[in-house]
Amino acid sequence: EGLHYFFISQYKNLNMLNIQYFRFCLVLISLWSCVFTNAYYYCNKQKKLCRNDKHFMCDLDSVPSKGVVLGVLPLTGSMKRLYVDRHNEHRNRIAGGEQKFGLPSRGYFPKATRMREVIWDDELAYIAGIHAKRCNKQPDDCHSTERFPGSGQNLYKNETGKPTTGTDMIVYAIDSWWAQSELVDDGNAMVDEFPKGIGEPDRSDTTSSISFDVFIDYGNETAVQGELPKSPDAWKKIGNFSAIANERAAFVGCGLAVCHNSTSNAYCIHVTCNYSRTNVIGTFMYKKGNSSASECDYYESVPSSKYPHLCKNTGKIFEDGK
């Protein structure tokens, strides 16, 4: 009887292991199916989304991998809120006319009459997370989506000899992008017509990168609207700041990867944030006026209850993804 019970119990244990293994396989199949399905989706719409460029999701090697991924920061609710809140704190300050420009300070940016809060978008975050895992601070050629055909991008890299907390890196990344406001010479001119008011080109190699996706054809140096500056450095040095301050960039999704560089034996933190819109040469960054959040009805909205100088984001996507 005891031997019979032993075999029965072992059979049950083996059966449970088979069930768990089967479930594990189903999860893997689901994940791979999701990846390939999404890749096919972007490749199938590549011409529409990217014109003559390849979509990043169709050619991951267009951003070569430069490290080993040790881990990614899980996108918990608190992490998403941290990304969103840090963006909105900066947007609220500039919309309220409380953000200085220049170093030393040359004045304050004008108030914004209809700048919305940014809210989280999972699709933008999905693509941004895959980019971060390339361990490479190289912007991709195109990461636009059907809902956001003119998507913008900010990239950040921090190399350290030891691991650091992901929450700190999120704050450092967003704050470093925003610090480019110190490089602006004329805040009013820049707000009226991007990228005016940014002074001489900065030819140093910095951690700042921005991609203009659909709007810019680097080969011919032309833009759908306006003209490309003679030197791309003239706008690249403030590209990260302006991406956050863009009125139309009301949706954001980010990813963070911890990488290891075997050459320098250092840990690298890579942060990628993708936005619903990017700045277009020759257009305004945001609508300015005497009173912040005074024209929220333009976006069928009302002033935010949390950020007094911003308009509430209802989640509605308007023409051209704005």
6-18 residue pLDDT tens = 434 444 444 444 5
Q: In this model, does residue 188 exceed pLDDT 60?
A: yes
Q: What is the pLDDT of residue 159?
A: 86
Among 141-155, 200-214, 247-261, name the one with the lowest average pLDDT.
Answer: 200-214
Q: What is the pLDDT of residues 283-302, one digit of tens each?
A: 899 999 999 999 999 999 99
Confidence category of residue 24, pLDDT binned at 50, 70, 90: very low
Four-CA torsion 174, 85, 143, 172, nearest 10 degrees: 20
Structure tokens at 188: 């009013």
Overall average pLDDT of the 151-179 stretch: 88
Alpha carbon distance, N-terminus to C-terminus of the chain:
73
pLDDT at 110 over 70: yes
Lowest-confidence pick of 102-106, 239-243, 260-264: 260-264
pLDDT for 103 beyond 90 = no
Specify the higher pLDDT residue, 191 or 32.
Answer: 191
Q: How many CB atoms lie within 10 A of CB 15?
A: 10
Q: Report, as an integer, the average pLDDT of 129-136.
A: 97
Residue 224: per-residue pLDDT: 30
More confident residue, 218 or 194: 194
Winning range, highest mean pLDDT, from 19-33, 104-118, 205-219, 220-234: 104-118
Residue 177 has pLDDT above 90, yes or no: yes
Q: Provide the percentage of residues in the chain whose pLDDT is more than 90.
A: 57
61: number of Cβ within 10 Å? 7
Residue 208 confidence (pLDDT): 33
- What pLDDT is stored for residue 210 in this prediction? 33
Within 10 angstroms of residue 308's Cβ, the number of other Cβ atoms is 12
What residues does 217 pair with on adjacent strands? 222
Look-up of token digits 């406001």 = 181
Quick check: 58 pLDDT over 90?
yes
Q: What is the mean pLDDT of residues 49-64?
A: 92
- Is 59-321 a domain of CATH 3.40.33.10? yes
Is the pLDDT score of 206 beyond 50? no
Q: What is the pLDDT of residue 198?
A: 62
CB-based contact 73:256 (threshold 8 Å): yes
**Domain extents in the chain:** 1-44, 59-321
Across 127-141, 191-205, 264-278, the highest mean pLDDT is recorded for 127-141
Work out the average pLDDT over 271-275: 98
Mean pLDDT across the stretch 50-79?
93
**271 contact partners, CB below 8 Å, separation of at least 6:** 132, 155, 156, 157, 169, 170, 173, 254, 255, 256
* pLDDT at 320 (0 to 100): 58
